[in-house]
Amino acid sequence: MRAFIFPGQGSQAVGMGQALFDASPVAREVFGEVDEALGQNLRRLMAEGPADALTLTENAQPAIMANAIATLRVLVREGHVTLADKADYVAGHSLGEYSALCAAEALDLSTTARLLKLRGRAMQAAVPVGEGAMAALLGADVEKAQVIAGAAVDSILAEGGEELVCTVANDNDPSQVVISGHRVAVERAVALAKEMGARRAVLLPVSAPFHCALMEDAATAMEAALADADLRAPLVPVFANVDAAAVADAGAIRRLLVEQVTGRVRWRESVLAMAAAGVTEFVEFGGKVLSPMVKRIVPDAEAISVVTMDDIEALLKRM
Dihedrals phi, psi of 206, to nearest 5 degrees? -120, 160
Give catalytic status of residue 93 as yes or no: no
pLDDT at 183: 97
Give the ranges where 196-264 is alpha helix by DSSP (H): 216-228, 250-262
Using CA atoms, how far apart are residues 14 and 294, in angstroms rounded to an integer? 25
Q: Which of 69, 76, 30, 7 is nearest to 319 (CA)?
A: 76
Catalytic residue among 180, 207, 211, 291: 211
Using CA atoms, how far apart are residues 283 and 88, in angstroms rounded to an integer? 11
Query: 80-92: per-residue pLDDT in tens?
Result: 999 999 999 999 9
Query: 224-252: per-residue pLDDT in tens?
Result: 999 999 999 999 999 999 999 999 999 99
pLDDT at 107: 98
Specify the DSSP class assigned to residue 74: I
Using CA atoms, how far apart are residues 95 and 77, in angstroms rounded to an integer? 24
pLDDT at 235: 97
Give catalytic status of residue 11 as yes or no: no
Using CA atoms, how far apart are residues 32 and 43, in angstroms rounded to an integer? 8
Catalytic residue among 11, 24, 93, 94: 94
DSSP track, 20-72? HHHH-HHHHHHHHHHHHHHTS-HHHHHHH--HHHHHSHHHHHHHHHHHHHHHH
pLDDT band, residue 21 (cuts 50/70/90): very high
pLDDT at 69: 98
pLDDT at 200: 96
The helix (run of H) or strand (run of E) holding residue 282 is strand 281-285
Query: 176-215: per-residue pLDDT in tens?
Result: 999 999 999 999 999 999 999 999 999 998 878 999 999 9
pLDDT at 228: 93
